[in-house]
Chain A
């Protein structure tokens, strides 16, 4: 399977704990995106990487959120001191503009529940 993969698929945590999610993009895709989707809503953009550089962050990304893509391949999204409002599906997508003309391919998501 050469699609976008995300781990874990599900995470239950207690309020105040830190959590980290991982995204492995499609090989050779140099752009990687994180989105958040709450129940009944469409996904909302969080942040974006081109290779290892984080080029844009949404205002939704509070100081408790940090994302990295250290070698320009996989990416991690960490949430510190989780709050119940962080409960959502976190989606990762990747694209390779030269060949896919900005089409983003999504992974299966990580569903987070903060108790």
Chain B
């Protein structure tokens, strides 16, 4: 069975602080994909990043960075110098080859609030 756990339900920080959102996953697939999505108050899920299971290189995109570690089944997301516009609910998701349809299994989300 596929499972994604985001243990942090809510995080609140002051603007310009760095913040890390944790994601731990479970899968028996050897080939799988990991994703992060952002959901602002408007409700639309915005795609941020996709990682496949064979690529453990960390990635940086502006203030965003992602740390993928297969040894600990984790795919953590860090926002550096946070801004108020980063306030949203962030979801980690997993899809695997055994699922056929590549349907996404989501974590429960982390609500991030950046205070001015």
Contact in complex: B44, A106 (CB < 8 Å): yes
Of the four ranges (under 10, 10 to 19, 20 to 34, 35 or more), the interface on chain B belongs to 20 to 34
Residues of A close to B95: CB separation below 8 A: 102
Interface-forming stretch among A16-24, A69-77, A79-87, A107-115? Answer: A107-115
Is B102 a contact of A42 with CB atoms below 8 Å?
no
User: Are B102 and A95 in contact, CB atoms less than 8 angstroms apart?
Assistant: yes
A102 touching B45, Cβ below 8 Å: no
B108 touches A42 (CB 8 A): yes
Are B101 and A44 touching (Cβ within 8 A)?
no
Q: Is the CB of A109 within 8 A of B100?
A: no
Q: Which residues of B contact A33 (CB under 8 A)?
A: 101, 103-104
Measured CB to CB, the residues of A under 8 A from B are 31, 33, 35, 40-45, 48, 55-56, 89, 91, 93, 95, 97, 101-109, 111
Is B64 part of the contact surface with A, judged by Cβ < 8 Å?
no
CB contacts (< 8 Å) of B101 on chain A: these are 33, 48, 55-56
Report which of B4, B47, B107 forms a contact with A103, defined as CB distance below 8 A: B47
